[in-house]
Structure 1
């Protein structure tokens, strides 16, 4: 099996050395540093480790799990051990999702370079793989697991064990028949291509074959016209169907003769259905497709709470890694809690708790480095400032010096704005959100006065006589100047240099919606605890909607969530709240919903709110929505599942009993869920063929979450995989839903196959 990948992978000197294996130190903490023997397997795609060379090895990671590799000096942990190990010998492997980083120290700088170069080379190869190559890699991983004695061959006994690992419950006689058919060399074992043939026999898709034959006159191919009919009638592609059919045949038909004749074989048809074009998520919603020139208050903004924490709120670790992960996943608003630190340097941690501490300047440097790697739209630093006047000055100095041109320290044009700027106008800018001593108007007025004074000083230097006259005749101080003198005598709680860096996002206390309308300006923003925000939605939902149409709101999790759990952001988005802050380090339903909303629009961290949430005179009430003219009916036929993983890989003998639950999150009347029955002992190719029906009043706010569970009456079902997306980004027709793990990482090739039909209004008896 390894030969399949090796035939495509250009092997170089680094990879050959990695395949021989190397002894390196695995580092988990200042106290935990142990030697391990790491070796790249012959497939070139998986790394295994053992306690020593020749020892009992076990899988460590697959190359497809790796997001990036960092130098030693970029690791907080390795930097803390710099006196013990030279940083040039260390490197860090960063994984997709929330998996902990792997810090390694090689025996020499040269060996560290071999692994870094080799991993980069393999990552480039994986990122360039097509659908078939990804499937080959997945098969190769399974082959490695099933090949117990690592001889590159699979006996029938090993195949039986592998079938259990792969969630296949099969009659032993039938399995042996497939095994013998695939064993063309008659060796009593399966090698590379033979194993692939065995897998293909296992994964025949009868439901896709039937669909193909429904549109194919001869059952062998789809002509161009037949494929156009399918795209028009089933996939609802409309006028673009003829051009799209040609594109898709050219993209997915494996045979050159088929491409030339503009026909699609069964293999090509299946390849299309499993591709991005056959995905449930509309391709047009994947890039930035929304208007990005509207004021900031018109957007939902991907926001993080206590971003520095990678664990719980009481004892968890504070780390710049929290900022790196949040920014790389598209967060545009990150929170920084700053307290007085030793040696005059402010520190970041969760105050009055046992969470660890990190220097504020390290956080600022991390934000400067990672702010715009995922998205070019503005990043908001939400400062929770608990520092003394002196250390606030240090904060202002770090922000100014480290962020440089990235920091927005005055209005875009130097003039007083009439509305918040847009994400487009603020591209690659970092904004400070925090308390401010004065209004923006007063700041700009003072800037004008300072400019005028400097001009006058220039004139006076040219003409010394008037200056002498001014000295001899003391002027009466204006009331404002007197105030300034008073300010100098008694230091304000807030340092003026830090206050000046807050421009468009001045934090103000919330009293009531009437008070905000009468006393606050559009650039002033209030924060609400989840409890306060939810009660306001119930008491005055429409007023909250109108408030959020002209002013930004930030909502944060309750202080009782010491385990870093999350609330459901949906009910706060329903009222138009823009910055609904999440504990992004904690996976689960709530983060699935958050990731689902921000999956669209290029994952840029900004999503335009529906028009009825952008209108300051809106009549919309999130608790009592009235919009039947926009209502829709959704019919989902859940057809089948493919290669579903086990919830717990340690249960070798247990085969899953999968069911599919479809959950809708939106306004309260729309929030509901339905599920299929479960299929017993089949996670490999379960078939349901059940139709679920939903009626939705406000589709513009609805999100769908498809979740696959392993039926278990004791534990109320165990999670297998999920996928969440906005209703407005859903494609109709026969679609595959490619499942994600609890962590939000791909479970390729696990998927469910569905048929989607959306009808306008609430008509019909289907529900």
Structure 2
């Protein structure tokens, strides 16, 4: 295959490799076939920052941290490098892939040896970053800041430089207090701090009174937590229940630097800042759900217009967009297919200026990346605009490229009464498209070669121009009226469609009486929203047996997204979002699918899997096992929030908002007041309260913003998770950037209590 992600595991590097990177190399930075420019790259002394500049750019230069790099691909493994493959051999080429939505960096070295030095060297550094613990990450962060601020590179900082650095780090503190701390840290009384002294200064600066107070509440002598005291804290403060005794010993072993058998304040703070002390239940992060139920019983991570990196009018179609979606655990990708001029089907957003890519390249890319993030099945949602001839070519490419990965026969030779499970379909790729006849015909081998008028009329191509009329208002005549351009389906392509046959939706009654479990319909967002409001219970019942796919309105030319929660509330499985567009809607999707090992499948609550369910999201209190809960969140403090405005004197005025997404009655938002000029260690100590009527469907989003009284607040960071994954007690919420990547060491410290409503 033409595109393949290399493993980023540890690679032994020679001293020569390190020498090459420190000394620097002139590499070609390539953006297109015509844009290839030489840049000088080198690794800075901190061993974590890569610096580069043009020879002719005077003082201008750029830097990026190795922490931003996700992987190194070797050879012609990007579209840009593939396009210049004839000019530069594979052993000179490599690609740095960045986290999140940042574009890749395609580079060409002068010799294979030089390329290898950078490939091996950067991989080694990525491995180092991936294996750091919280303390090492924090030390690295402090070291990075010291390097940035040490302008004359003498390894020392005087008080004036330290004050400037504090501003850069989002701290606006009283000058006398800062000088007092500086003097305490300046043990040598030289008037400047070396890196070790600066780390000491930073530690005094970041001493956290709010953590010390919690520690004091449970410590007998105020110096340490004995084993029983720590157990008591875990039982009372963290609501850990019976496992508190075993956990106490494990935490002392893991986080306590001393051999005393007790926990010091330092070890206590380390635990609270770790993944175990985070808001997300560790056991829910792993794959833990029952994966043996029918596909219709799961929410499935799904992408719309997967081929786009930007908007759908002018954006670039790219194989990279498929790679990014699949690596994020997406399990349903969309492929818009059109006739290519040279007989090869192409993929792009039809009738627009988006660029075009080859169908066969998309399929090769899907093959390589389908099961990197998850073993569970991938659904290829075909939006088929091709004539019969090129449909047959598509069928050939699917069969030849995917081979055994493509599911081509029903699992046990029987017409299914319910859909197979993710477990049974592990490692398989399924095709969602129109089909001639049904599975019954396939098994009988009695296929006609042409799509009937009715089949054609019932197809569900997503038309961005017109909204479907309500299904219930269609007359029998409307339902079977053929479209003017009667096209045919290729038998070869039709035969590859098994469990995801696209059909038009004719109302819930029709589906209940005549629907087959392998038939699925697509709904525009507005139609789905209307059906959810008018016939919520019917929609939930329908989705226990059949799959439904929801797609964004054709009016969203900027590739914006709708709120997926409305669709999950009625059990829709394939709620397709524009993965390329960051924001609230993708935060919710990432939040829902963060659980269960990030495998892209989340089991629906039991009341959404029962075919006779009477659940309605509009009336949650009518559920037989209705048990509302109270969620109380004390927002205590924030830590090292990033600056929003890079202007030298600006410091953020942060506030925290908690947003609840769920059934209509549960939608709510509450926020703290803002703290003036402190992004470093703001303290709120404010409590926000919520009532949850359907906690099983609730997502909780924590947002931190920079308050602005004159205009809209600026976004600082967020974290979203399912309510069912929240750990009660004193917890840290590790914030993510707008595009979903971590921004260590930024966090919010909260105390959470959950109780039944009495």
TM-score (norm 1): 0.90
Q: Which has the higher helix share?
A: 1
Alignment check: 8 A CA contact 1:531 1:558 kept: yes
* Corresponding residue to 1:723 among 716, 719, 724: 719
Q: Offset of 1:59 from its aligned partner?
A: 4.6
The alpha-carbon deviation at position 35 of structure 1 amounts to: 1.8
1:497 lines up with 2:492 in the alignment: yes
2:491 and 2:57 map into 1 onto residues whose CA distance is 64
Corresponding residue of 1:596: 591
| Residue 11 to residue 656, structure 1, CA distance change in 2 (3 Å) | farther
Any runs of at least 4 consecutive aligned residues in structure 1 with deviations exceeding 4 A, and if so which? Answer: none
Residues in 1 aligned to 2:585 and 2:376: alpha-carbon distance in whole angstroms: 24
The 5-angstrom pairing of residues 168-567 of structure 1 reads: 168-255=171-258, 257-258=259-260, 262-446=261-445, 493-567=488-562
Distance 1:147 1:538, change over 3 A: same
Structure-2 separation of matches of 1:35 and 1:189: 40
Q: Which residue of 2 aligns with 1:686?
A: 682
1:711 and 2:707 matched: yes
Q: Which moved more, 1:587-596 or 1:146-155?
A: 146-155
- Structure-2 change in CA distance of 1:103 and 1:637 (3 Å): same
Instruction: Report how far residue 55 of structure 1 moved.
Output: 5.8
* 1:333–1:380 CA contact under 8 A, matched in 2: yes
1:503 and 1:218, CA in 2 relative to 1: closer, same or farther beyond 3 A? Answer: same
Matched, 1:677 2:680: no
1:691-735 superposed Cα distances (whole Å, 9 cap, x missing partner)? 110011000000000000100122221100000000000000000
Deviations 1:539-596, CA, capped at 9 Å, x for gaps: 1111111111111000000111111111110010000000000000110011000100
The answer to whether 1:620 aligns with 2:615 is: yes
**SS of the residue 1:38 aligns to:** strand
Distance in 1, matches of 2:361 and 2:351, equals: 21
| Per-residue CA distance 1:66-100 (angstroms, 9 max, x = gap) | 11011231110111122333332221111111111
Is the partner of 1:243 in helix, strand or coil? helix
Within 5 Å, which residues of 2 pair with 1:743-758?
743-758=739-754
Distance in 1, Cα, partners of 2:147 & 2:497: 56
**Residue 164 (structure 2) pairs with residue 161 (structure 1):** yes
Are the counterparts in 1 of residues 323 and 365 from structure 2 also a CA contact under 8 Å?
yes
- The DSSP-based 3-state class of the residue aligned with 1:731 is coil
**What is the CA RMSD across the aligned residues, in angstroms?**
1.7
- Say which SS state the counterpart of residue 52 (structure 2) adopts: strand
- 2:632 aligns with 635
Cα pair 1:315 1:353 within 8 Å, conserved: yes
Larger Rg belongs to: 1
Residue of structure 2 aligned with 1:647, choices 603, 624, 644: 644
Q: Deviations over 1:319-350 (max 9, x none)?
A: 01011000000000000000001221000000
Contact 2:631–2:690 (CA<8 Å) still a contact in 1? Answer: yes
1:311 counterpart SS class: coil
Gaps (5+ residues) in structure 1?
1-8, 450-490
| Residues 508 and 525 in structure 1, CA contact (< 8 A), matched pair in contact too | yes
Question: In the alignment, which residue of structure 2 is the partner of 1:30?
Answer: 33
Listed one character per residue, the Cα deviations across residues 412-434 of structure 1 (whole Å, up to 9, x for unaligned) are 12222221000000000000010
Secondary structure at 1:723 match in 2: strand
> Alignment partner of 2:649: what SS?
coil
Cα distance in 2 for residues equivalent to 1:447 and 1:188:
90
Distance 1:11 1:662 in 2: 49
Please give the alpha-carbon distance, in whole angstroms, between the structure 1 residues aligned to 2:733 and 2:639: 10
Cα pair 1:365 1:402 within 8 Å, conserved:
yes
Alpha-carbon distance, 1:375 to partner: 0.2
Of the candidates 116, 124, 127, which is equivalent to residue 124 of structure 1? 127
Match of 1:190, SS state, is strand
TM-score (norm 2): 0.91
Match of 1:82 in 2: 85
8 Å CA contact 2:224, 2:263 repeated in 1: yes
2:565 maps to 1:570: yes
Alignment match, 2:465: none
In the aligned structure 2, how far is the partner of 1:12 from the partner of 1:152?
A: 24
Q: Which moved more, 1:355-364 or 1:110-119?
A: 110-119
Preserved contact between residue 253 and residue 268 of structure 1 (Cα < 8 Å): yes
Change (3 A) 1:423 1:20: same
Q: How many residues align?
A: 708
Q: Deviations over 1:457-515 (max 9, x none)?
A: xxxxxxxxxxxxxxxxxxxxxxxxxxxxxxxxxx9710001000001100001121112
CA contact (8 A) 1:48 1:57 kept: no
Task: For 1:653 and 1:145, locate their aligned partners in 2 and report how far apart those are by CA, in whole Å.
Answer: 16
Distance 1:447 1:137, change over 3 A: farther
Larger deviation, residues 97-106 vs 220-229: 97-106
